[in-house]
Amino acid sequence: MRSSTTGIDRHTVGTYASQVENMASSDPLTHPHSAVITGASSGIGKALAFELAARGYALGLASRRIARLEELRDALHATHPGVKVELAELDVDQVDTVKACLADLFTRMGGADIVVVNAGVNRFTRVGRDELADELQILQTNVLGAVATIQAASAYFLSRGRGQLVGISSLAAENAIPKQAAYCASKAALSMYLDIARMELSRKGIGVTTILPGFVETEIMEDIGKYPFAVSAEKAATEIANIIERGAAVGVVPAFPWKYVKPFFKVIPDAVYRKLK
Ligand SMILES: NC(=O)c1ccc[n+]([C@@H]2O[C@H](COP(=O)([O-])OP(=O)(O)OC[C@H]3O[C@@H](n4cnc5c(N)ncnc54)[C@H](OP(=O)(O)O)[C@@H]3O)[C@@H](O)[C@H]2O)c1
């Protein structure tokens, strides 16, 4: 059953639904839900902005390329008249700036219920080939930038006693993929960080959702569509939004076939992963 006012499945997210109801009494928002998405200027973040706008969310969109965000805001207004969109120029690599930037965004939005920690980078790197700079960049954005974002969002949610943190990790967190040592390590670190955040925050009224995408056709890597079971950013965004609204702890995207394949990851021979290049 879906609530006509919130669009949330009450059978599966009783806790979250009651949080939403509490919000209305203690901290009125101009929209029933509001979500901040980091890394919203392209790919999954951009597609998720369209998906959440279609579901009636007010949006706070953040990334470095502000011109892209302005174009996205215009496109959102054209397709979803009335949607409330605030923008923030945010470089999560500048970890000391993240908290103030997000605090300003939350204020301009009139409050945020959900923060999607999505900003991330990837590139092929090889171990022992003098590619340390590339590897450090991946770790800087995907681990340190994500942790800075989670810290800022969590502190904000703790101050309100409610909220939902969503981390876009990866199935790469659970697989050793050649030429992806830094990326896989970064996503394994993020998944672990989110697991512990969930333990610490669940009794404080804050939900933590880890999203594990497989391959999604975005700008993150050339030819990513050639990899197994690749899906469009739009398809991924629809599934991610459904997982968020279910209030699930962990969600695999696309669910089919990865949720059936994932239990076998550890027994798949290395030779199969070596072919993924
Ligand atoms: N595509 C896949 O197959 C796949 C699979 C699993 C997980 N993921 C994860 O999904 C997330 C989104 O990736 P995507 O595939 O949508 O790639 P994308 O199209 O390249 O989008 C990445 C987004 O991150 C932002 N970003 C990068 N560095 C940033 C920084 N220092 N500060 C703020 N924003 C930054 C970019 O915006 P600016 O350049 O404007 O800052 C961009 O909006 C990433 O965390 C990625 O690891 C992707």
Mean of pLDDT over the chain: 89
In a domain, 5, yes or no: no
pLDDT of amino acid 11: 30
In a domain, 119, yes or no: yes
User: HEC states along the chain?
Assistant: CECCCCCCECCCCHHHHHHHHHHHHHCCCCCCCEEEEECCCCHHHHHHHHHHHHCCCEEEEEECCHHHHHHHHHHHHHHCCCCCEEEEECCCCCHHHHHHHHHHHHHHHCCCCEEEECCCCCCCCCCCCCCHHHHHHHHHHHHHHHHHHHHHHHHHHHHHCCEEEEEECCHHHHCCCCCCHHHHHHHHHHHHHHHHHHHHHHHHCEEEEEEEECCEECCCCCCHHHCCCCEEHHHHHHHHHHHHHHCCCEEEECHHHHHHHHHHHHHCCHHHHHCCC
Rounded to the nearest angstrom, the distance between the alpha carbon of 109 and the centre of ligand 1 is: 23
Number of domains in the chain: 1
> Who lines ligand 1 at CB under 6 A?
38-45, 63-65, 68, 90-93, 118-122, 141, 145, 168, 170, 213, 215-216, 218-220, 224
pLDDT of amino acid 276: 66
Rounded to the nearest angstrom, the distance between the alpha carbon of 14 and the centre of ligand 1 is: 31
Reported pTM: 0.89
Q: What is the CATH number of the domain that holds 112?
A: 3.40.50.720
pLDDT tens digits, one per residue of 175-192: 999 999 999 999 999 999
pLDDT of amino acid 32: 59
In a domain, 27, yes or no: yes
In a domain, 2, yes or no: no
Identify the domain containing residue 121 by its residue range: 14-274
Query: Which atom of ligand 1 is nearest the CA belonging to 64?
Result: 41
pLDDT tens digits, one per residue of 64-109: 999 999 999 999 999 999 999 999 999 999 999 999 999 999 999 9
What's the rounded mean pLDDT across residues 109-119? 98
Residues with active-site annotation:
183
Has residue 27 got a pLDDT over 60?
Answer: no
